[in-house]
Structure 1
Amino acid sequence: MIIVSDTSPINYLILIDQIDLLPQLFEQIIIPQAVYNELSDSLAPLPVQSWTVDTPSWLKIQPVSQPTDEIKNLLDPGESEAIILAQELNADLLLLDDMKARRIAKERGLVITGILGILDQATSMKLINLPNAVQSLKNTSFWASDSLFQKLLDKHC
């Protein structure tokens, strides 16, 4: 399977100490250079910056071959490059959280999931304690409606 990720899912999985879910669920994740740049940026949370110092073997950084696309004017660099790379690679799945970016990705025929979908899948595989993971996620800057969090919890608890 070809899995491409934007910054957000990786960022929040690092912050809630669940980054090891990605290789357990997907074996390899491909990110564009812009996503790596966002993760390692001095404005990124310190645990995220530190994590990028030793890039794990399951994370592959791949540049996009079509650097110009109209979505570059609509989204941040990581989101736009992740969508473009997912299209170039004919990815099976794109990990993406931002609502505007998700809408554009869907319009382009991409299959997407975000951090909540990752936690859902990990819970189904009995890899995490969902209430703890959700509480940890709520303690970050990640935003989702309380009803969305509750829907996920109700599904498994």
Structure 2
Amino acid sequence: MAAKGFPGDVSSVESLQTAIIAVIKTYGKIDVLLYNAAAGRPSKPTSLSVDQLVEDFKISVAGALTSVKEVIPFMENGTILLTGGGLALQPYADYASLAIGKAGIRNLAFSLHQELSPKGIYVGTLTIKGFVQEGTYFSPENIANTFYSMYENQNETEIMFEER
């Protein structure tokens, strides 16, 4: 099967819905959703405006929820994977917005797992406790392999991706 792109703006509910509807019209169903979008501007909490925080949250968390709500009617025993981050567990004031988003995505993953697992849909989050960088433990390839393992095994709601 050839790869095909479906552009959409994750900060816009309408744009994201349009993109997902196009995927469903093309393929008829969704087997796996991997949500990897995040936003977070470098800023301490008291330097952030409410509008900036809300805009980043829309991308990091609300876009994930919109995506999930759009795909679950077209999933049967599907998989939903969300990209988390170590800032959810150990916030860093200089990246407050990103840390809040990662905490939100972690909470969303656990809540969705509770709701959707009885319906045969696996939800998991990969909490990446480092900076993604080629040639390191945190390489995109290692992360992709871990996501694939989560998809295959479907036995943990959260995997901590960290060097030991």
* TM-score computed with the length of structure 1 as normaliser: 0.33
More helix by share: 1
Q: Considering only CA atoms, is the larger Rg found in Structure 1 or Structure 2?
A: 2
TM-score, normalization by structure 2? 0.32
More strand by share: 2
